[in-house]
Amino acid sequence: MIESHAATPEIHGHPALQHHFENMEQQREAGTLGMWIFLVTEIMFFGGMFLAYTLYRNLFPAGFVLASNHLDITLGAVNTGVLILSSFTMAMAVYFTQTGKLRPQVWCLVLTLILGLTFLGIKAVEYHEKYTDRLIPGRIIPGAHFGPDPHAFHLQAGAPELAQIEMFYWIYFAMTGMHALHMVIGAGLLTYLIIFSLKRRFDPEYHSPVEVIGLYWHFVDIVWIFLFPLLYLLGRHLGGH
């Protein structure tokens, strides 16, 4: 009737079981639930920026379309594909952990990491383009304050849309920058997973870390699934260049 604590490790002897949990099932459930709740905080965190985006897109449709059409749609689309593929390999990594196939599991994790870094690389190329076009808003970069060539946007110098374009790029850098930061953190977590997978720490009974970090990775993918159309696509049908 009364379960003694001292007996617990003998009954469920998995080395990864922490002392305050009764069994692996409870530990896994707590871990997954914890990550889901953390993702709720992430949704609210990005939600604040989506709110600002929605407001200013509504207030300044003209400037936002001009600025949005200036983004490189090819790089954006390729990056979307890269991220979706990385989500797929991550899902497969979870699958192989669950089924106990540890070699393909490590490979999937490595692939996910490479794809994540590819995404960041492409993003860096895009950022650099914005830097050379002097599209980085405000005076963040010393010596390269915001000051794009108005003709690149088919505008006269001093056109009121330029302020709106700066606003778009401020939001663009805030959102994609925050997303990229999450990718960097995700890459760190993947590295941890790879190291511990090579040490054979995970098995079908204990795979919570792979699963939980997987949830995080998919969430970051979802954020991009929304960022891509909002930042790159809306207003393309209106032309531009």
Partner 1 sequence: MSEHIVSVRVYITIFLVLLVGTALTVWAAFVDFPFGLNTIIAMAIAVTKATFVVLYFMHVRYSTRLVWVIVGSALFWMGIMFAFTFADYFTRSRLSIGT
Partner 2 sequence: MKPIESFELPSPSKVNYLNAVYGLKSWLLTKDHKRIALLYLGSITFFFFIGGIYALMIRLELLTPSGDFLESTTYNKVFTQHGIIMIFFFLIPSIPATLGNFLIPMMIGAKDLAFPRINLLSWYVYLAGGIITIYALLAGGVDTGWTFYTPFSTTFSNSYVVATGLGIFINGFSSILTGLNFIVTIHTMRAPGMTWFRMPLFCWSHYATSLIMILGTPVIAITVLLLAFERVSGVGIFNPKLGGDPVLFQHMFWFYSHPAVYIMVLPGMGVISELIANFSRKNIFGYSFVAFSSIAIAVFGFLVWGHHMFVTPQSVYAGMIFSFLSFAVAIPSAIKVFNWTATLYKSSISYDTPMLYALGFIGLFTIGGMTGLFLASLATDVHLSDTYFVVAHFHYIMVGGALMAYLGGLHYWWPKMTGRMYPEGWGRFGALVVFVGFNLTFLPQFIAGYIGMPRRYHAYPPEFQVYNVLSTAGASILGFGMLIPAVYFVWSMRYGKHAEANPWHLPGLEWRTQSPPPTENFEQTPIVTWDAYEFAPPEETEVVGKFHGEVERAS
Alpha-carbon distance of 68 to 55, in angstroms, equals: 16
Q: Which of 51, 77, 124, 125 binds partner 2 (CB under 8 A)?
A: 51
Q: Which does 91 bind (CB under 5 to 8 A by kind): partner 2, partner 1, none?
A: partner 1
Q: What is the phi/psi pair of residue 239, to 5°?
A: 95, -120
Q: Which does 95 bind (CB under 5 to 8 A by kind): partner 2, partner 1, none?
A: partner 1
Residues between 133 and 172 with contacts to partner 2, criterion CB under 8 A: 137-140, 146, 163-164, 166-167, 170-171
Q: Which of 11, 13, 15, 37 binds partner 2 (CB under 8 A)?
A: 37
CB of 7 to partner 1, least distance (A): 23
Alpha-carbon distance of 117 to 107, in angstroms, equals: 15
CB of 109 to partner 2, least distance (A): 23
Positions that interact with partner 1 (CB under 8 A): 28, 32-33, 36-37, 39-40, 43-44, 47-48, 50-51, 54-55, 58, 73, 77, 80-81, 84-85, 87-88, 90-92, 95, 98-99, 214-215, 218-219, 221-222, 225-226, 228-230, 233-238
157 in the Ramachandran plot: left (φ > 0), alpha (ψ -120 to 50) or beta?
beta
CB of 69 to partner 2, least distance (A): 19
Q: Is residue 181 near partner 2 by the rule CB under 8 A?
A: no
Residue with tokens 């990385």: 86
CB of 27 to partner 1, least distance (A): 13
CB of 17 to partner 2, least distance (A): 12
DSSP symbols for 133-192? TT-S-TTSSTT--S---GGGGT--TT-THHHHHHHHHHHHHHHHHHHHHHHHHHHHHHHH
Asked if 155 and 161 touch (Cβ cutoff 8 Å), the reply is: yes
Q: Which of 89, 86, 68 is nearest to 175 (CA)?
A: 68
Alpha-carbon distance of 127 to 110, in angstroms, equals: 26
Alpha-carbon distance of 195 to 217, in angstroms, equals: 17
Q: Which residues bind partner 2 (CB under 8 A)?
A: 1-5, 18-22, 26, 29-30, 33-34, 37-38, 40-49, 51-52, 55-56, 59-60, 137-140, 146, 163-164, 166-167, 170-171, 174, 178
